[in-house]
Structure 1
Amino acid sequence: MKLTIIGMDIAKQVFQLHALDPQSGQVERFKLKRAQVLEFFAKRAPSIVVMEACGSAHDWARRLQALGHEAKLISARSVRPFVLRNKTDAADARAICTAAQQPEARFVAVKSEAQQTVLAIHRVRAQLMKFRIMQTNALRGLLYEFGEVLPESYRAFSKAFPAALTRAAERLPAMLIDSLREQWARAQDTDREMAVLERRLANLFRHNPDCQKVADIPGVGLLTATATVAAIGDVRTFKSGREFAAWLGLVPRQSGTGGRVRQMGLSKRGDTYLRTLLMHGARSVIIQGKRSPWVDGLLKRRPFNVAVAAVANKLARTIWAVLARPDKYQASPRATA
C-alpha cells in the first residue's frame, strides 16, 4: 500500500498542506494554524510528509516522525520549477508535493537535536569571528589614518597594537585614544567568548569517536571534525565520497550543448561554512604539511588556488571514507596529505 504524500509549506503561524492519494488520485488541501498541526497529524494515518529544508524544518520532521509519519526534507531549489504562475502558500505546498514524486528528487537528511546543537555553536562562533574582524579592521584603518601601520593577522595585530597606541597617544587627543582602547577591549572580549565556544566544542570532540577518527586526517582539526560529523549525521546518506564532495560544492560545474560538455569553476553549492573549513585545511596541508608527488605535480600544472580546491575535494572524500568504514585513517606514501 502506497502512503499518501503530503506537501507541507511551513511558516511561523499558518501552514498550508497539499495531500495526494497515489492510489485514487484524490487531492486534499488544508490550511492550519501552528497550534493545529500536530493535532492534525496525530489523527491522520501514517503518510509521507515532505517539507522544504528551511528554518525549523528539522524540528518539525522530528515531531512528525515521533507521530509515526515518514518525514522528508527537500531542497527549495528542487521545488521552485514546479511553482506555476503566482507564488502562494497553496502553490508552494502543491509544488513540494509534485517535486517529491520526481525520480531524481534529492532529499536532505533530517538532523538530530545533537547535530543541530553542534552546528549552532559553530554558527555563533562564526558570527563572533566576523565581529572580531570588523573591530580589528576598524582599529587598523583608524590608526593608519594617523601613520600607524599594523599587521593583518589577529595574533600579530594583538602584539603590535599596544605599542602603536602608545606612540599615537603622544600626539593625539586623549578622547580618541580612550575610544580606540575601548574598541580594542571589545575585540578582546569577543576573542575570549570565541575561546569559550571552542572549549565547548573540544569537550564534544573528546566524547565523539567519529570526530576523533576524522581528526587523524592531515588538514582536519577540531572545527572541521566537529562541523563535518554534525553536518553529515548518517554517512549512508551519501553513496560515495564524490557525492559528499558534490554536496559541499567542491566539484566543477558543467555546462554543455550540442554534445559538448565544458568543465567550469567550483559549483559552490551546499554548506559554505563547511566548504570554507575544508579549503583552509587544504591550504594548510599544501603550505605546512608534507606534500605528496601528486600535490607537487598539481602545483606545477595548475594555479595555487586550483590545487587547494583539488586537495579540499580529496579531503572531503577521505572524510567520507573514514566515516563509512570501521577502520581508522592510515596515511599511505602516495596519499595527498
Structure 2
Amino acid sequence: MSLIKVVGIDLAKLVFSIHGVDEHGKIKLRKTVKRNKLLAEVANLPQCTIGMEACSGSHYWAREFRKLGHDVRIMASKFVIPYRQNEKNDANDAEAICEAVSRPKTRYVSIKSEDQQAVLCLHRIRQGAIKDRTARINRLRGLLSEFDIIMPKGRYPAQNAISSILEDAENGLPFLARELLEDLWQSIQQLNLEILKYDRKLYRLANQMQAAKRLMSIPGVGETTATAVVATVNDAKHFSTSRAFSAWIGLVPKQYTTGGVARLGRISKRGEKHIRTALIHGARAVMANCKNKTDRTSLWIKDLIERRGFKRACVALAAKNARLIWAILQSGKEYQVDYVAN
C-alpha cells in the first residue's frame, strides 16, 4: 500500500481540514479534525511534505510539525487559489494547498522562530501606536477646524501649537469642547511616550543582534529597518539574487511585456510593506545630507536627482540598499564605503 507523500492543511481557529495524497496523486486522506487533535493526527502520518497557507498561526504549526520530522512549507494564498476547484470550502482549500505545495515553481515563506516573531510583535505594536497617534492628531485638527481654529501642517508643528490653542481663553472655544480636546491631547502625549518606549526597545535589540549591527553600517538603514529585516528573513540564500530580494520587498518596476515590447512602470509595491517604507524613509534621510559629500554613493545620488528627480532617486537608493542588505546577509561581510569588487 502506497504511503501519504504530500498533505495540505487548511488552517482555522477551531476546525482544520486535511487532504493527503500518495506519490501518484491518489487521495489517501481527507478528513476534518479539531484543534486539540491536530498534532496527534499529524504525528500519526508517515514523514511527508506538509503545505499550509501563510496566515495567523501558520509559523507555530510549522515549527510543531517540523519537530515531528515533516518537511513543512508555507506559501502565500495567491499561489493556492489557481488550484482550487469548484466552490470555496475548507475541504477544497486543503486539496488546493496539497496540489500547490507539490508544484516545483511555488515560492515559499521562510518559517520564523519564536524570537523572530517576538521582534515582529514589537514592530506591529509600534506601527499600531503610530497609526493611532496620526488618527488622533487628525481628529483633533478636524474638530478644531469646526471652531475656525486651524492647526499648522505637520506632526511636530501641530503638537507644538496644541497647548497654546487649548490655553488661549480668547479663541472662542467652548468650555466643553476645550475639556474634551484636552483629554484627546493628553492621549496623544501618552502615545508619544509609548512609541518612545518601543523605539528604545528596538535600539537595544538592534545592538544585541550581530546581523542587525552589520546592516546598520549601510547609510539609510537604522534600527527599525535592520531589526525588521533580521526578524523577517531567516536565510538570505532563500533568494537567488539581490534583485529577487528587492522584488520581494516590492522595489522593482512593474512589467507589462507583450509582442516583444517591454514596458516598465512604477514599483510593484508587493511583499513587505513595512520594510519597503522604512527603506524609503531611510533613503530620504541620506539624500537630505549628501549635498556636501564626495563619496561615490553621494555623487551617484546627486547625479540621479538631476537626471530623474528626487522621488525616483529616493526609490532607486532604497532598492540599492535592499540589494546591499541581501549581499551582507548572505555573505556575512561588513559594509564598505566605495567598495570595488575584484
For normalisation by structure 2, the TM-score amounts to: 0.92
Q: Which amino acid aligns with 2:48?
A: S
Partner of 2:229 in structure 1?
228
Q: 1:148 to 1:61 in 2, by over 3 A?
A: same
Q: Which amino acid aligns with 1:301?
A: R
**Residues of 2 paired with 1:233 and 1:169: CA distance?**
59
* 8 Å contact from structure 2 (residues 4, 45) kept in 1: no
Matched, 1:256 2:262: no
Partner of 2:316 in structure 1?
310
Partner of 2:172 in structure 1?
171
Q: How does 1:87-102 map to 2 (within 5 A)?
A: 87-102=88-103
Q: More displaced, 290-299 or 226-235? A: 290-299
Q: Which amino acid aligns with 2:46?
A: A
Q: More displaced, 241-250 or 198-207? A: 198-207
SS at match of 1:68: coil
> Over aligned residues, Cα RMSD in angstroms?
2.1
Write the deviation string for residues 76-114 of structure 1: whole angstroms up to 9, x where unpaired.
111111112211111111111111122211111001111
Q: CA deviation at 1:24?
A: 7.4
SS at match of 2:257: strand
Partner of 1:194 in structure 2?
195
SS at match of 1:250: coil
Q: CA deviation at 1:23?
A: 4.9
* 8 Å contact from structure 1 (residues 255, 262) kept in 2: yes
Query: Runs in 1 of length 4+ with deviation above 6 angstroms?
Result: none
Q: Which amino acid aligns with 1:7?
A: G
SS at match of 2:263: strand
Matched, 1:273 2:279: no
Partner of 1:42 in structure 2?
43
Q: 1:23 to 1:189 in 2, by over 3 A?
A: same
Partner of 1:131 in structure 2?
132
Aligned length in residues: 335
Q: More displaced, 177-186 or 156-165? A: 156-165
Q: 1:220 to 1:88 in 2, by over 3 A?
A: same
Partner of 2:186 in structure 1?
185
* 8 Å contact from structure 1 (residues 169, 177) kept in 2: no
Percent identical: 38
Q: CA deviation at 1:294?
A: 2.0
**Residues of 2 paired with 1:255 and 1:3: CA distance?**
41
Partner of 2:56 in structure 1?
55
**Residues of 2 paired with 1:86 and 1:228: CA distance?**
38
Q: Which amino acid aligns with 1:64?
A: F
Partner of 2:334 in structure 1?
328
**Residues of 1 paired with 2:169 and 2:240: CA distance?**
59
User: Which of residues 298, 304, 308 in structure 2 aligns to 1:292?
Assistant: 298
For normalisation by structure 1, the TM-score amounts to: 0.93
SS at match of 2:179: helix
Partner of 1:114 in structure 2?
115
Structure 1: gaps spanning 5 or more residues: none
Q: Which amino acid aligns with 2:80?
A: V
**Residues of 2 paired with 1:156 and 1:125: CA distance?**
22
* 8 Å contact from structure 1 (residues 3, 48) kept in 2: no
Q: Which amino acid aligns with 1:67?
A: L
**Residues of 2 paired with 1:297 and 1:80: CA distance?**
45
SS at match of 2:206: helix
Write the deviation string for residues 29-66 of structure 1: whole angstroms up to 9, x where unpaired.
12111111100111221111000111110110001011
